[in-house]
Amino acid sequence: MFNKFSSLSVAMACIFLMVIMTGCATPGPAKSTATIAPPPAEVASSVGWWYARFRIHWPTEKPVEWHWDLLIADKIIAPVLAQYKDEIHLWRFHRRAVRDETGHQFSFIFYASAGTAYQIFTTIRTNELLAEMKNAGVINEDHYDNPEKNSRLRIEDTSDVRWPPVVQRNWPYFIMGSSQMWLNLISETIADMPNLYSPLSVQENEQLYEKVNVAIGALWEQEGHRAFLHHLSALFGYRPIIYYDKRMLKF
């Protein structure tokens, strides 16, 4: 009886000690992005659409900070495009900021093989600036498609299903050119700014890309009608379109 009681007491004491140690433990660092496994050999060459998504911190009391999108595009995605340009068939950016579960999210979307997607995601995940932005609380989460499986195999599979099929199939070419121009505007605007030293801290990058965002926004306001909308309209013979407010407009 004495031995049984002693054993029970020791066991309870050990459990109590473990609970105390657990409660006093210092919380560990934030979890890193889940590891991405390479695709199996039988699917590595299959081509499809892939997403890399970056959810940006957006406090409820602040307006959306669009300049972070420019920083991600220029410092994290542009090097990937340069490195894998021969393996990427189509690509584009997507920007959104809505007060919902997703919030402010910047996406890099590309059409390539599963093997290339794995390489690109690995390259992005090891980007030092991305790690700094996550540590600084600028990027809350980064998400990547699983290269082991993909159901978006056709060129039209990421287009709006409400569009006619012919538009769905050809729109990715239009938005890729637009994304490339926007990316070039960012890099050329920065090139015209004096006294830039590298590497910059997250705070210094924020100040820089705030200025770049303002400059490109001004370009859109001043030149968007002629340089973009007017010439796009010209391709379609200057026919009027039905705009969102259901009015006929010409550009």
Assign domain 38-251 one CATH number from 3.40.190.80, 3.30.390.30, 3.30.70.100, 1.10.10.10. 3.30.70.100
Contact indicator for 239, 251 with CB cutoff of 8 Å: no
The C-alpha atoms of residue 240 and residue 248 are separated, in whole angstroms, by 6
Give the pLDDT of residue 195. Answer: 67
pLDDT tens, residue by residue, 29-59: 444 556 788 898 888 999 999 999 999 999 9
DSSP label of 148: T
Banded pLDDT at 11 (limits 50, 70, 90): very low
Q: Which residue has the tokens 């801290």?
A: 201
pLDDT tens, residue by residue, 67-83: 999 999 999 999 999 99
Taking alpha carbons only, the member of 65, 78, 43 closest to residue 180 is 78
The C-alpha atoms of residue 115 and residue 44 are separated, in whole angstroms, by 5
The C-alpha atoms of residue 24 and residue 2 are separated, in whole angstroms, by 33
pTM, two decimal places: 0.84
Give the pLDDT of residue 31. Answer: 43
